Structure 1
Amino acid sequence: MAGVWKRWIKNSRQQELFEKAERIAEEARKHISDTDREASFSYETLNVIKEERYPSMSLPESEGGKGLSLYEFLLMQEKIAEGDGAVALSIGWHMGIMMELSQEQLWEKTSYNRLVNEVISEQKVVNRAATEPATGSPTRGGLPETKAVRRGDQYILNGRKSFTSMAEHLDYYIVSAYVEDKDTVGWFLIDRHQPGLSVDKTWDTLGMRGTASDDLVMEDVELQESDLVELKSGSKSSPKGWLLHIPACYLGIAVAARNDAVAFAKDFQPNSLDTPISEVSHIQDKIGEMEWKLLQAHSFLYSVARKWDEEPEQRNQMGAELAAVKLAVTNTANEVVDLAMRIAGGRGLSKTYAFEKYYRDVRAGLHNPPMDDAVVSMLAKQAIVEDD
């Protein structure tokens, strides 16, 4: 799909970033069979991610990063997802969190610099651990059952977090907990080597197996006051453009499925035909439908990303728009992969081809926040208010 990609690469810097993402995608692709079967994340892929200095790229240039714009970030994420969506989604959390911390200044400078210095110098990787078995997605408002109890000048942390992407490979965890003495939710920055931390290999899902999103378990983890880096604010959360890495990931999976479907159609010629199936009208109809769906999805995703980058004064009003992108793009990605499966026919169900993995992985996008029902409700309420 080189022609389509050229539409979105606007300059030499973006071309250079794209090529870095391509190298990560190529490495990720080599390990798909193992990571999908074992529900693991590849050390080799993580090494290439760090060699390309990707973990520090979303930080400002003044701090030693690359100062990625949202547009550039999504461009790279989508390309990595073509290689393996699980790798893109996993590292996308780290990249987005670093972008959020630098732009929103959520932490005290000392705590922020402590993490940033290690990300820049050693390409260390971090993720938030927020979801819990009992509360579900934190976007639904449930309080964490993980508790931090004050004991002298320390906090003692106990709890379990699910859906911790790259759990065994992270250098730091940013863990949410109910902080008893402050009667609110706080976030602790915890080194992976802290005693009392362990990873329970629970990840056994239909799709996105390669994210290795196992449970993080905390048993009497002793933390310093300085490890409490963030407290829940009483004010309404501002829109987060970096979360568009989610639809970008699933769009990358759809592009990979499209590419394989077109290649399959051009190569496959049953003995009942004198030509490859790419010459059959109903196959061409499906290819054409994939194309216009992908064009729509790309246009929506990248036009909103450009707006975020070029009109920062509009960001606080972009919540519904960002949510709509996620809904539209992830659903379109599912539709494109379904069409690719129909082109491949019964062969698409075989593990000889990648189609069945695309099909399993892309469905996970429907379960990443924000959920479709929440987005539809948000858009409806906005329309009603605007029409008053």
Structure 2
Amino acid sequence: MAALNAFIKNDNQQAMITQLHTLKRNIEERGAKADLENSFPAENFEDLLNIGYNKVTLPAAYGGLGFGIYDMILFQETLASFDAATALSIGWHLGIVGDLYDKKLWDDAHLEDFAKKIVNERALTNRILSEVITGSPTRGGRPGTNAIFSDGQWHVNGHKSFASLSYATTHYITSAWIPEKELIGFFLIPQQSNGLTIKETWDMMGMRGTASHDLIFEDVVLPEDALVELNNKPRGAKVNGWALHIPAVYLGIAQAARDHALEFARTYKPNSLDFPIGQLPHIQEKIGQMELKLTTSRHFLYDVAQKFEDPKTHDYAAGLLGAAKHVVVNNALDIVDIAMRIVGAQSLKTSNPLNRYYRDVRAGLHNPPMDDMTITKLATAALEEN
């Protein structure tokens, strides 16, 4: 990905990207197999843990690698070009950890303890917020999962959906309604807790390797300090800069689709031509369209990330986080479609990677923030300008 090299700023970023590339072949092969079988590429996450990838966004003060948002999207775009499901799955962990320690959402004791789990026990987490009865937590629905405090312990009961990374997650951050407080609580729940079951419900057309199954909590008993956070609304309603790991994944898919189509255009020569199809004007027009959309997306995404991390432009960039996701995902949809038009009917084969890119990229429309909410927010901000 020569174009991405222009966005690498330092040796530390380059070192991590180089490490990721050493894993490329295996991650690609396992990701394709998991998609075909609707299974989970567990070895991909073992490989990533072996290079300390779960520590990428944990601050150095807590024993992590201390990378920021801009760094994270560089790595996530790279990883997603190998296998999008693997990247999206571990991306939830990276974004959550970054946000958690950046904003100090928990008290010091909880932060210290969980950091030790990440560093010493190779912990992986995800916020498990979605439920069938509420839909996306970004819409503001109150969780149907309940937590009752009795005899000095929490008793959690409920049914969660879209638990990406379900098998590899060591600690779920789960939202539950606390009736006595009339507030939403967030609980850190170890995967091995009694009464916690992974219900294998994930049967989607795209992102099949994320194993985003349901979680069933049947009287899961937790110590008092398992409650790590209280809020009056679902955490998913608060879009933040660390959520840029999401569009980075779809940018990676777009890059992979572009690369596949370009290689096809360079090498495919039907017997009706004396040269590869890449020399045909209408194919070159399609390639140019892909390049324009890919370049626009990458510049927008990385510029927003850079401005968000700069205190001088933070507030301005904060208003564009949703727009960055919107632009990247919708351009990625177009890029994959154009790539398939270049390759033709061959792209529909199950064995052709474009088949998977086409299905995986659709999932971006259903990751937060949703397009309608982004457009409404932009319109509201414009109307409120002085």
TM-score category, normalised to shorter length: over 0.9
Q: Distance in 1 between matches of 2:86 and 2:349?
A: 22
Q: Secondary structure at the match of 1:283?
A: helix
| Partner of residue 52, structure 1 | 51
Q: Structure 1 runs of 4+ off > 2 angstroms?
A: 20-27, 37-41, 233-239, 312-320
1:305/1:378 Cα in 2 relative to 1: closer, same or farther (>3 Å)? Answer: same
Q: Distance in 1 between matches of 2:239 and 2:246?
A: 14
| Partner of residue 126, structure 1 | 125
| Partner of residue 301, structure 1 | 301
Aligned-pair CA distance for 1:40 = 2.4
| Partner of residue 208, structure 1 | 207
Q: Distance in 1 between matches of 2:89 and 2:258?
A: 22
Aligned-pair CA distance for 1:27 = 2.7
Aligned-pair CA distance for 1:113 = 1.5
Conserved in 2, the CA contact under 8 Å of 1:25 and 1:79? no
| Partner of residue 345, structure 1 | 344
Q: Distance in 1 between matches of 2:143 and 2:369?
A: 19
Report matched runs for 1:100-249 at 5 Å. Answer: 100-233=99-232, 240-249=240-249
1:313/1:138 Cα in 2 relative to 1: closer, same or farther (>3 Å)? Answer: farther
Q: Distance in 2 between matches of 1:122 and 1:267?
A: 47
| Partner of residue 28, structure 1 | 27
Q: Secondary structure at the match of 1:8?
A: coil
Aligned-pair CA distance for 1:11 = 2.2
Q: Distance in 2 between matches of 1:61 and 1:273?
A: 58
| Partner of residue 259, structure 1 | 259
Conserved in 2, the CA contact under 8 Å of 1:155 and 1:224? yes
| Partner of residue 368, structure 2 | 369
Conserved in 2, the CA contact under 8 Å of 1:25 and 1:81? no
Q: Secondary structure at the match of 1:162?
A: strand
Conserved in 1, the CA contact under 8 Å of 2:184 and 2:234? no
Q: Distance in 2 between matches of 1:61 and 1:10?
A: 19
Q: Distance in 1 between matches of 2:233 and 2:257?
A: 43
| Partner of residue 281, structure 2 | 281
- TM-score w.r.t. length of structure 2: 0.96
**Residue identity opposite 1:277 in structure 2:** I
Q: Secondary structure at the match of 1:66?
A: coil
**Residue identity opposite 1:303 in structure 2:** D
Q: Distance in 1 between matches of 2:143 and 2:234?
A: 19
| Partner of residue 41, structure 1 | 40
Q: Distance in 2 between matches of 1:121 and 1:152?
A: 32
Q: Distance in 2 between matches of 1:23 and 1:264?
A: 24
Q: Distance in 2 between matches of 1:150 and 1:45?
A: 38
Describe the superposition over 1:6-32 as per-residue Cα deviations: whole angstroms up to 9, x where unpaired: 211122222112112323443320212
Q: Distance in 1 between matches of 2:234 and 2:213?
A: 31
**Residue identity opposite 1:214 in structure 2:** H
Q: Distance in 1 between matches of 2:305 and 2:136?
A: 25
Conserved in 2, the CA contact under 8 Å of 1:290 and 1:336? yes
1:25/1:138 Cα in 2 relative to 1: closer, same or farther (>3 Å)? Answer: farther
Conserved in 1, the CA contact under 8 Å of 2:239 and 2:369? no
Q: Mean alpha-carbon deviation: is it higher for 157-166 or for 15-24? A: 15-24
1:167/1:234 Cα in 2 relative to 1: closer, same or farther (>3 Å)? Answer: closer
| Partner of residue 268, structure 1 | 268
State, as a whole percentage, how many aligned pairs show the same letter.
43
Q: Distance in 2 between matches of 1:48 and 1:241?
A: 27
- TM-score w.r.t. length of structure 1: 0.96
Aligned-pair CA distance for 1:240 = 1.1
1:235/1:210 Cα in 2 relative to 1: closer, same or farther (>3 Å)? Answer: closer
Aligned residue-pair number: 385
Conserved in 1, the CA contact under 8 Å of 2:57 and 2:65? yes
Q: Secondary structure at the match of 1:22?
A: helix
Aligned-pair CA distance for 1:316 = 4.4
Q: Secondary structure at the match of 2:168?
A: coil
Conserved in 2, the CA contact under 8 Å of 1:238 and 1:316? no
Report matched runs for 1:302-321 at 5 Å. Answer: 302-309=302-309, 311-312=310-311, 314-321=313-320
Conserved in 2, the CA contact under 8 Å of 1:196 and 1:218? yes
Q: Distance in 1 between matches of 2:115 and 2:78?
A: 25
**Residue identity opposite 1:355 in structure 2:** L
Gaps of 5+ in 2: none
Q: Distance in 2 between matches of 1:58 and 1:119?
A: 11
Conserved in 2, the CA contact under 8 Å of 1:179 and 1:186? yes
| Partner of residue 80, structure 1 | 79
Aligned-pair CA distance for 1:234 = 7.2
Q: Distance in 2 between matches of 1:25 and 1:325?
A: 27
Aligned-pair CA distance for 1:112 = 1.6
Aligned-pair CA distance for 1:88 = 0.6
Q: Mean alpha-carbon deviation: is it higher for 237-246 or for 373-382? A: 237-246
Q: Distance in 2 between matches of 1:326 and 1:260?
A: 23
1:23/1:181 Cα in 2 relative to 1: closer, same or farther (>3 Å)? Answer: farther
Aligned-pair CA distance for 1:317 = 4.7
